[in-house]
Chain A
Amino acid sequence: MSKAILYDATMCIGCKQCEGACAQQNKLPYDDAVAAESVQSAHKYTVVLAKNDKFMRRLCMHCEKPACASVCPVGAFHKTKEGPVLYDVWKCIGCRYCMVSCVFGQPKYEWQSLNPRVRKCIMCPDRVVAGKQTACAEICPTGATKFGERDDLINEAKDRIRQNPSNYKPRIYGLNEVGGTSVFIIAAADVEDYGYPASAKIGDTPMPEYTGRVMERIPDFIPLWTLVLGGIYWVSHRRDEVAAAEAQAKNGSGR
C-alpha cells in the first residue's frame, strides 16, 4: 500500500543524476555550481555526498510519524497514505518549528525570500499517485535508488544484506529510527559519517510522542484546573462574605 525508497549506497556511482532529475521535477535551477554544493538547501532537496570513494544520498526520510506534521501549528504538513510527507504552502505561517523539530534536519527555508516557503523533498507525490516512480529512482542508472512498495523494499534490503554480508553494515537505516521512515538506506559505511543522526541518539520512539505525552493530558487538565481555581476563588471569597455577615450579626446583637 504505502510506498518507499530504498537507497543502496554500495550500488551508487555518484553520478548525481538523481540531483538533476529532482531539480527538474521540482522546477529548481541545476547547473555545475549547484551540483558542486554539498549541502541541502531550499534549492537542493537531495544531495549525493562522497567520502573515501563511497557515496551517500541525503533526502527527506518521510517518517511514518513525522515530527514536522505533529508540530506545525496550522497543520501545513501531512503524511499521505501513499508515503510522501507533503507541505501546504498556503497554510504555512513561517514559524519554522518543523525545521527545529526534524531530527534529520530536512526542512530548509527560503531565507532570502520576502514570502518564504519551507522546502524539502516531497517524494514526487504527483508521480506516486499516478503509479509512477519518483524522478530520482527513475533516472538512477544503477538502481541504487529504488522506488516500490514499503514492505517489498524492506524484504529486498534484508535479502541483499543476507546474501552479501561482507558488503554491508548489518542494518537498515530508517527501518526503526524514530518509529520507521519511508526511506531506507543500506551501505558499507556508517550513515552517521555523512551527517545522518546516530540511531542510538534519535531512538525508535516516534518524535510526536515526546510532545504527545504532554498534549494528551490537556483535555483532562483544563476542566480539572478550572474546578480547582474556581473552588479556591469561591472558598476565599466565601470566607469574606461569612466574615462580613458575622460582623453584621455581631453589630446587630450588640445594639
Chain B
Amino acid sequence: MKFKLTLWKAIFIVIMVLGLYSSYVRYFHGLGAATNMTDQFPWGLWIGFDCLCGVMLAAGGFCMVGAVYLFNVERLHAVVRPAVLTAFLGYLLFIVGLLFDLGRPWFIWHQMIYMNPHSVMFEVGFCVMTYTTVLFFEFLPNVFEALKWTTPIKWIKKIYPVLIVAGILLSTLHQSSLGSLYLIMPSKLHPFWYSPALPFFFFASAVAVGLAMTIFESTQSAKAFGRQLELPVLVTLGGALLIALWVNVLLRFEDFFHRGLLRQVFTPSYEAYFLWLELILTFVIPITMLSFKKVRLSPQWLYLASIFTVLGFITNRLNIALIGFETYVGHHYMPKWTEFSITLMIIAMGFALFGLAVRYLPIFETETGHKLEQPEHIRVRTGVLSHAGD
C-alpha cells in the first residue's frame, strides 16, 4: 500500500517519536528525571489521567453490554462491539500507563501473589486484571469471525451469560473503588472533592462518561469511515446520558448540601475556579443542551454534548487527583513535558489500535454481513484513526 503523509499522520509520528524519547528518559534515568513528581506530590498526571480517566473513558464497554445483554435493549446492538473494543483497548492502555507510573513495574505480578485484601489498590488491581480478561473474551468473537472460525465462537456464546454478569460486577467494583482510593486522605484532599460518597460519584460518572464516549466514538468513527449512523441509537443514548447527568448533578448537590459546603462552593477561590470549570463542563452545558429536543434528535449536537461531558468529567478527575492536593502540599504541580508526552503517546496508540481493529475486524459489520466500502476522500480525512492501517 502506498504511504501518503497527511497532517494527522504527521502529528501521530511526532507524538510517537517524542513519546519514545520520553519512555527512554523514564526507564533509563528514572521517575525523577522524567516527571515533576516529588515526595510531596507522589501521584501526578499519570495517575490522574492515564489511570483515573483511562478507566472512566473505557466504561462504555460495561454500560453497553449491560444495556444490550442484561436489559435486552435490542436497538443498541450496533454499538456494543465498538464499545467493547474501546473498553478492551482502554484497559490495555491503562496497564501500559501503569507500567510507566509504577516505580518497579517489573514486579507488577507481585499483585497476584502478595495480596492485601484490606487495600483498595489491591481490589482495583485485581478487578482490572480479571475484567481485562473478561473483555478479551468479549472481544475475541471479532477475531474469530474475521478468521471464519465458527466453533470457538459457539464456545464463547455458551459462556456469554457468565462473561456479562462477571464483567458488570467487576466494573461496578473497580469503577467505584477508584474513588475509594481517596477515602483514606480526608486531611489532604480539598473538601470540594473529598467526600465519603466518592465511590458513588466515581461509579455514577463512569456510567455518564460511558454513554457519552459511546456517542462520541460511534459518531467519530461514522465520520471517519463514512458509515451511516442509526439515529434511533444515538437518540436512545442521548436520552440516557441526560438522565445519567441529572443523577450525577443531584448526587453532587446533595453531597455539598449535607456537608455544608454550598456557600464555599460559590465563594471565589483557587479551588472554586477549577470546581466551576468542572461543574460547567459536566453539568451546565451538556444538561442545558440535552434539554432541547432539537439537540437530542441531532447527531451533530449530541456529538458536541458528549464531548463536553467527557471533558467535564476528565476535569473532575484531574481536580481530584491533582488540584485537590495543592493547598495541602503548599505548591503547584505542573507535569513535565515528558509526562504529557507519554500520556499523549498512549492516547495516540489508542486511536491507532482502534483504527486498525476497525479496519481488519468486523466491528462495524452491518447486520447483513458485508462491510461498507470507504470512499477515498473520506479515508484521507480520517486522520490518526486510519493511519495505523497504512
Contacts and interface: CB of A to CB of B under 8 A. Distances in A.
Contact of B184 (A41, A203, A211): A211
A91 B187 contact: no
A71 B125 CA distance: 12
Contact of B111 (A73, A202, A207, A218): A73
A99 B114 contact: no
Interface string B63-74: 000000111100
B298 interface: no
B148 to A, nearest CB: 28
Given A115-B104, A229-B165, 19 more contacts: A67-B184, A72-B121, A73-B125, A74-B115, A75-B119, A93-B105, A96-B42, A96-B103, A97-B121, A109-B31, A111-B38, A112-B33, A116-B104, A203-B186, A207-B184, A213-B183, A222-B173, A226-B169, A229-B169
B185 interface: yes
B119 A71 contact: yes
B370 interface: no
Interface stretch (A2-10, A161-169, A234-242, A245-253): A234-242
12 contacts: A70-B116, A71-B121, A75-B114, A92-B107, A94-B104, A96-B43, A203-B186, A210-B183, A218-B123, A229-B168, A230-B161, A233-B161
B120 interface: yes
B122 A240 contact: no
A105 interface: yes
Contact of A71 (B120, B168, B177, B187): B120
Nearest to B66: A229
Most chain A CB atoms below 10 A, which of B39, B105, B186: B39
A208 interface: yes
Interface string A99-130: 11101010011011111100000000000000
B40 interface: yes
A50 interface: no
Contacts of A72: 116, 119, 121
A29 interface: no
A95 B117 CA distance: 16
B110 interface: yes
A74 B122 contact: yes
B30 A230 contact: no
A37 to B, nearest CB: 12
A95 B121 contact: yes
B369 interface: no
B164 interface: yes
Interface in A188-236: 197, 201-203, 207-208, 210-215, 218, 221-222, 225-226, 229-230, 232-233, 236
Interface in B150-174: 161, 164-165, 168-169, 172-173
Interface string A11-54: 00000000000000000000000000000111000000000000
